[in-house]
Structure 1
Amino acid sequence: MQLELLNTKKWSTRAELAAAVFEWIECWYNPFRRHSSIGMLSPVAFEERHRASPPTS
């Protein structure tokens, strides 16, 4: 986050920085970070894998 967000510009206000940090975490980090609870897949990859699978009965 330091290199990809914080060091990219001079932030005018704390609110601007807080909004940018929130967006970075929710829109980039969390969707693409691998999670051990879902087989070391990212949430995006996990959803794609299960969306493509036919439902089991």
Structure 2
Amino acid sequence: MGRAASSVDNALVELSWSIMQRELLDTRDWGTPQQLSAAIFEWIEAWYNPRRLHTSTGYLAPADYERLHTTSATAA
């Protein structure tokens, strides 16, 4: 995005990390690295990615967009 070492280079990653930290990491103590790793994977793949809104889909979550698109395609 910007030149090397610019503060905007990491803006998206920092935003995603802060959301995950607030909604998952800070909610409990994690017994093992494996528990934490599994929880992070579950949070990203089962909660965050399917539900986050995208500008490219008209601000629909991926699951909603696919459901709408699949319904339209089968109706035609």
TM-score normalised to the size of structure 2?
0.62
Specify every segment of 5 or more residues in structure 1 that has no aligned partner in the other structure, as ranges: none
Q: Which amino acid aligns with 1:20?
A: A
Where does 1:1-57 land on structure 2 (aligned, <5 Å)? Answer: 1-53=20-72, 54-55=75-76
CA distance in 2, matches of 1:23, 1:32: 13
Tell me the alpha carbon deviations over residues 16-54 of structure 1, each in whole angstroms, 9 at most, x when there is no partner. Answer: 101100000000000011223333321111012113222
> Percent same amino acid at aligned positions?
53
- Name which structure has the greater RCO, CA cutoff 8 Å, separation 6+: 1
TM-score by length of 1: 0.79
Aligned residue pair count: 55
Answer 1 or 2: which has greater helix percent. Answer: 2
The unaligned stretches of length 5 or more in structure 2 are 1-19
User: What's the C-alpha RMSD, in Å, of the aligned pairs?
Assistant: 1.3
* Runs of 4+ residues over 4 Å off in structure 1: none
Aligned-partner SS, 2:29? coil
